[in-house]
Structure 1
Amino acid sequence: MTSPRIALVTARAARGLDEDLPPAVEAFERAGVEVTVVDWDDVGVDWSAYDIAVLRSTWDYTQRLPEFLAWVERAAAATTLLNPPDIVRWNTDKHYLGELAARGIAIVPSAFVEPGEDAAAALVRFIDAHGRGDPAFEFVVKPCVGAGSRDAQRHGAERPDAALAHLQALLAAGRSALLQPYLARVDEHGETALLWFNGEFSHAIRKGPLLRRDEAATRALFAAEHITARVPDPAELALARETLAAIPAGEPLLYARVDLIQDADGNPCLLELELSEPSLFFGHGAGSADRFAAAVLGRKRTAGA
Structure 2
Amino acid sequence: MTTVPPSSAPARLAIATCAELPELDQDDRLLRDALEARGVATAAVVWDDPTVDWSAYPTVLIRSTWDYTDRARQFADWTRRVEHSSALLNPAEVVAWNIDKTYLRDLEQRGLPIVPTIWLDPERNMDARAIHTRFPAFGDFVIKPTVSAGSRDTGRYEAGDTPSRMLAITHAKNLLGVGRHVMLQRYLRQVDTVGETALVYVDGQFSHAVRKSALLAGPYRRDETEGVLYRRERMAPRDASEAERAVADRVMATIPEVFPGLDRPLLYARVDLIPDDEGKPVILEVELIEPSLFLEHAPGSAELLAAAVEARL
Fold conserved (TM > 0.5)?
Answer: yes
User: CA–CA distance in 2 between the matches of 1:85 and 1:167?
Assistant: 30
Aligned to 1:209: 214
Segments of 5+ residues of structure 2 without an aligned counterpart are: 1-8
Aligned to 2:237: 229
Which residues in structure 2 correspond to 1:100-115 (within 5 Å)?
100-115=107-122
Aligned to 2:196: 191
Q: Kindly tell me the number of residue pairs found equivalent between the two proteins.
A: 293
Going from structure 1 to structure 2, the CA distance change for 1:146 and 1:108 (only over 3 Å counts) comes to: same
User: CA–CA distance in 2 between the matches of 1:122 and 1:238?
Assistant: 38
**What are the superposed Cα offsets for residues 182-207 of structure 1, whole Å, 9 maximum, x if unpaired?**
00001011100000011011111111
Aligned to 2:102: 95
3-state SS in 2 of match to 1:279? coil
Which residues in structure 2 correspond to 1:47-62 (within 5 Å)?
47-62=54-69
**What are the superposed Cα offsets for residues 4-60 of structure 1, whole Å, 9 maximum, x if unpaired?**
701110010234672212101110011111111110011222211112100001111
Aligned to 2:144: 142
3-state SS in 2 of match to 1:37? strand
Displacement over 4 Å in runs of 4+: none
- Displacement of 1:124: 3.5
Alignment root-mean-square deviation, CA: 1.6
- Decide whether the 8 Å contact of 1:113 with 1:122 is kept in 2: no
Which residues in structure 2 correspond to 1:1-305 (within 5 Å)?
5-15=12-22, 18-117=25-124, 118-127=126-135, 131=136, 133-134=137-138, 137-157=139-159, 158=161, 159-214=164-219, 216=221, 218-219=225-226, 220-247=228-255, 248-249=258-259, 250=262, 251-300=264-313
Aligned to 1:303: none
- Decide whether the 8 Å contact of 2:58 with 2:87 is kept in 1: yes
Q: Tell me the TM-score normalised to structure 2 length.
A: 0.90
Counterpart of 1:85, as a letter, is A
Aligned to 2:5: none
User: CA–CA distance in 2 between the matches of 1:145 and 1:215?
Assistant: 16
User: CA–CA distance in 2 between the matches of 1:273 and 1:121?
Assistant: 32
User: CA–CA distance in 1 between the matches of 2:176 and 2:220?
Assistant: 20
Counterpart of 1:240, as a letter, is A
